[in-house]
Structure 1
């Protein structure tokens, strides 16, 4: 008899999608608990793998393999997270190990970190090596699969190793040290090189690691380079914790007074903490002060001794949003988003895990933050598609938030000026509580007037393609008044595509069935799917004609046109291309906020979360870019985006105006944006959804199958479609298989099957069966994605 651990092994297959039993050695018994990460021998070869302990019990340990090592001093997952993975497995068709790994920082899955954990029990962030120090630790049974990484560290001079006398393969000690001290002491330096001598003396008397910039204040780069080349100074890049910069720069602010509607929302929601049984949908017009409501709710939560999670769309994780939380709650805030390095994410995760952080502000994955005693979970802009993970595991943060809120009896608040149709429908059926904010928080700020301009009226009458004369005149008027303008075009790059006017040739990606996009900043043609890149052709590759022209438009082209029209205007462009570099997004917005530019031109990343009091005109250059996509949510997405960007105008005392250019002025989504009437749009859209049989009247599951051979793919797709039909009821509607709108990417063909259903008890079993089938040897080249409630059908 002994202690047995149930372990999910890091092998994402159906056969391993269950716990395996392992013996807990006596010397590790006090170190292993639920949620611990361990190394275990697996399979006939006994190769060492990572695993998560999901159960502990007493029983017979005869014939059981033993756990080799514990990777952490304390469990990295708690009981709630383990239960959460169990619940998610029923609707997120990813293997359990994928769900568990999604809950921990990616740094904890790196081999370098495993070495540090296995040898000294410290993370790379903790083990900041001190220049000239020595530190060794005895460790037996080190994971031999890490031998290659250990060898690299030995060769780099970072560590030395010794082995036990009994077993030359068992690592006994690892010594961390820097050899630079010896090099410094023996380095020959000319007596005439006074500055080099001074630098050596400084280094010998100040052995601790320090930023290179500190040395540059006293010594020249040539002097430093001499020591670096000699091996006396070792340099490496260390990421600075950007979130700490936020704390240093953000001044504390006081809570604002709430109007009657805001106060009612705060009182109603906070009264439910500890007994909450269903979410709150907070529908508030743009500028109604939803963020201030969130801040007051969190203040109440903290005073109760509880914690909070605030999710915001990745695209609107702007300094403005982050600063408001830090200015109120200081270093109790942890920031989690994709702009942080893996090391920084790990630092923030440790801050949360240790209990130092009480409020987590982040994008989608922040929903997994290891907070205890949660009092409120807030999802801002809850309609955003970015809350759905588009890669494995394909979870929706809203669904995970609901599970966590139920576990903690926390208040779950879904906030938006334009809620998703599904959320608004749930509110109408009282599945959600429903609270509305109908007035702007600033009583002097009025809802902007919205004007629609029909592009067709100006065909052939304008010199440039993106700006009608009426929009140009309005921009000039604002510039003359010293006011600012925001312009949105939901497409990056210079042009959509290039085409030969002689033969009709369109330059397409060789790997994907899509035209290449022209990027003038890099002077290349780029594929936005697989990353393929080539030089811009100056003649037609098909017929050699020079009549090759650019068609469509993009933010870069619009920027160039506007510069020609208004050379005196100071402009900033913000899209994926101009914000690739770290900190660029923040830099652009700060410059615009300081009034260093008159016009901010960008893609949808400028549509949400920005609050600039001097912006009085918002122009939408083309409202139709997403309107006619083959997706039943295209009208909803268009309405939401246009309403959000319109809300950037007139947020203070100065009156705001919005001008929308479109080729479809009579479309109901655009007409209702002009009226700023979400409720009317919701009522109309519900009628459309009902007639077409789409959410919220039906649930949906999307299956995407991919293969390099289209004939094989078609055959397999129909086999799976028939299997689904035979095992589901006649009430389920099955669409397809059909090619995806973009039928080939990355040299793979893609077909999709859509299942629409209301109640299908056997659906989970059927989908798991299909997932299992795709792992047969006969299907080794077939790729399958199962997406529960897909957010995109394009």
Structure 2
């Protein structure tokens, strides 16, 4: 039932943000056109003892719920255009693939302001506009005094089209009273319209756009392929660091948006701190598209700002949406192209709630809408590389940095710390003699250096040599990290913190000392090691305030920093023109991890951070301190040989039956005790065996504690499921979860994660 006369009733099926994988039935009464619901519309409904906002998914005339028990819809969000069928299709797919309810996917994907009925009226402000009635033009002009220049400006503006009151006031100081008088005379029509429906500035009104950069031959070849793409066309833009992938994006977007004045594009970046520089670049390059043509979407925005940007994309006013992983679930009016920059980044995988992969959903969305998608990276994920090797994705390769940059790839050298020690050249708090010398040389030459250590804080642990005590978190199975500047020990998992003890709490020994090092300790050491250097630290601790990361990076670009110390935040996406040296500390820790993805992540991380050097014309050098210089990973890194590293790693994965050659899912359980969590998982394993029987297509492993078994006094266990058939895995999980919902007793919560990255 989609229409009806006043007084008629109907039924809608509504998705709510609730863990039950079902829709909820409500009734509505047709009072006028605004009270006829349509799929994709937001409604306010009673749910239990509270009100909630839901999404209309179906309109019908029958329900399995008795009519007397059906509750009525309380309000319709009539100002927001309904979410389209394509967006609903995306939500249904994500809900099915990630084994969640439609409401669990749809509602968190919307801005918080849209999920609060009290804020609906504020989200859609209305402005007064005036329209000249065509038959009254002569009467209006006949009434104007001969020398009333301001009145004539108003009349001429009305002849040109609809006149908003704010524009009218710039033409006449008392425009409101004059226009209302003309309405009373019957010459104009006064109405209120949504701010979101007003057209953006035209190219003639916009500031001049920044001219495009001339492309290299390799870039032109890649661009030509993107221009010719029709329908669903997945591309892997594989380019070495600094090869100009961003310029290819910009040219491809300009071409795609120029073809259709209503076309939109989605550009995904992995980190919030990358959005300011991308946003500034895109606004300059696409200034001719008008004010508000480029918007950002990420969790760092204020709720009102995020809602306005989301609505700009939904209504089609925004031509380019630049965002982090949550932007993949935004609603578009006419999406024409998708770009996923640094597609290999683990940050594209949501690690709380709905654990979706933004990269994978972007690929599905491109296929759904039959449009091109570009996955860009210097170190693609092995899943993407495998797809390109099999011909499912077209690979476009950029093998060198543009000639205009006068920059070659940096030279990578290894510093064998064990050999240095044997030669009697002991390191100074983690910095070897050759590294310290190289840092001083760069300072003398006026060049910048970057020191990468992927651990924040001063030291990862505080310990006592006398009795072996270490500072463990009382709520987690993790160590407390020493933050010397704040004079606290802090847990990076649950937030617990306590003051630094003066003596060992176990034996009273006052000689307690930090073990290992983090960014804060590296910063302190560098102040002594390289006297006179301006040192800046960028990590999660130094960038807590909104806008602080952008301000710190601006100092680096302005040349106000000699040595930049930081974590993964400085390792990707940034174009540091004066950095000639990159130093890497403590890289060996990931070489022997229990996680089979650890070496892939380490190689990508080192390739990315190495790529920050030598971009401005000077020779770049990368120094990596290691105790294992003969490791194959470092040999591939020295050659800048991602293809060779990927081939060897994929061969190992295939032999070991690991992704991307199998598909995996994790059942995680959390409980007050580890025994309760494992008991739940053991019962789940038994029900899984009963369900699958002799079916050998899907295999399970035994329940085990998670690597970090306790967080915030909650114990965690996991059970791994895998199959060579994605369809078989999905079907089994769907049937299995029906029994798990009835079994829940004994655990605080449980969840199934599809395609887990951390096992």
Q: How many residues align?
A: 663
Contact 1:517/1:528 (CA < 8 Å) preserved in 2?
yes
Aligned to 2:269: 312
Q: Where do residues 12-51 of structure 1 align in structure 2 (5 Å cutoff)?
A: 12-14=18-20, 17-27=22-32, 29-30=34-35, 32-42=37-47, 48-51=51-54
Q: For residues 437 and 378 of structure 1, what CA distance do their matches in structure 2 show? A: 17
DSSP-derived class of the 2:247 partner: helix
TM-score between the two structures when normalised by the length of structure 2? 0.83
Contact 2:665/2:720 (CA < 8 Å) preserved in 1?
yes
Contact 1:694/1:756 (CA < 8 Å) preserved in 2?
no
- Give the one of 542, 549, 552 matched to 1:578: 542
**Alignment gaps of 5+ in structure 1:** 129-243
TM-score between the two structures when normalised by the length of structure 1? 0.80
Aligned to 1:457: 419
Aligned to 1:282: 237
Aligned to 2:180: none
Q: For residues 29 and 474 of structure 2, what CA distance do their matches in structure 1 show? A: 54
Shift of 1:59: 6.0
Shift of 1:66: 2.6
CA displacement 1:264-318 (0-9 Å, x = unmatched)? 1112122113x22x41111111111100000011101111111100001115515
Q: Does 1:4 align with 2:10?
A: yes
Aligned to 2:370: 409
791 and 392 in structure 1: CA distance in 2 versus 1, 3 angstrom threshold: same
Contact 1:3/1:56 (CA < 8 Å) preserved in 2?
no
Shift of 1:689: 0.7
Shift of 1:763: 3.3
Aligned to 1:334: 295
Aligned to 1:395: 356
Q: For residues 672 and 432 of structure 1, what CA distance do their matches in structure 2 show? A: 24
Aligned to 1:736: 702
Aligned to 1:348: 309
Q: Where do residues 754-769 of structure 1 align in structure 2 (5 Å cutoff)?
A: 754-759=720-725, 761-769=727-735
Aligned to 2:491: 527
Worse-superposed segment, 617-626 or 63-72: 63-72
Worse-superposed segment, 722-731 or 525-534: 722-731
Shift of 1:250: 10
318 and 593 in structure 1: CA distance in 2 versus 1, 3 angstrom threshold: farther
Shift of 1:30: 4.6
DSSP-derived class of the 1:450 partner: strand
Contact 1:94/1:394 (CA < 8 Å) preserved in 2?
no
127 and 566 in structure 1: CA distance in 2 versus 1, 3 angstrom threshold: farther
Shift of 1:261: 1.4
Aligned to 1:683: 647
Shift of 1:362: 0.8
DSSP-derived class of the 1:283 partner: strand
82 and 616 in structure 1: CA distance in 2 versus 1, 3 angstrom threshold: same
DSSP-derived class of the 1:317 partner: helix
Q: Where do residues 183-194 of structure 1 align in structure 2 (5 Å cutoff)?
A: none
Worse-superposed segment, 553-562 or 354-363: 354-363
DSSP-derived class of the 2:701 partner: strand
- Give the one of 249, 254, 257 matched to 1:294: 249
- Give the one of 404, 407, 432 matched to 1:445: 407
Shift of 1:31: 5.5
Q: For residues 780 and 81 of structure 1, what CA distance do their matches in structure 2 show? A: 38
Contact 1:313/1:380 (CA < 8 Å) preserved in 2?
yes
DSSP-derived class of the 1:26 partner: coil
Aligned to 1:435: 396
CA displacement 1:106-129 (0-9 Å, x = unmatched)? 22234xxx2243xxx332x8499x
- Give the one of 431, 434, 454 matched to 1:490: 454
DSSP-derived class of the 1:736 partner: coil
CA displacement 1:714-773 (0-9 Å, x = unmatched)? 211111122223333224332231111111111111111111211264533442344444
Q: For residues 537 and 62 of structure 1, what CA distance do their matches in structure 2 show? A: 66
**Alignment gaps of 5+ in structure 2:** 2-7, 128-200
Q: For residues 727 and 619 of structure 2, what CA distance do their matches in structure 1 show? A: 55
Aligned to 1:52: 55
Q: Does 1:426 align with 2:387?
A: yes
Q: RMSD of the TM alignment (CA)?
A: 2.4
Aligned to 1:73: 79
Contact 1:37/1:75 (CA < 8 Å) preserved in 2?
no
DSSP-derived class of the 2:280 partner: helix
Q: For residues 24 and 522 of structure 1, what CA distance do their matches in structure 2 show? A: 61
Shift of 1:539: 1.0
Q: For residues 592 and 533 of structure 1, what CA distance do their matches in structure 2 show? A: 32
Contact 1:698/1:757 (CA < 8 Å) preserved in 2?
yes
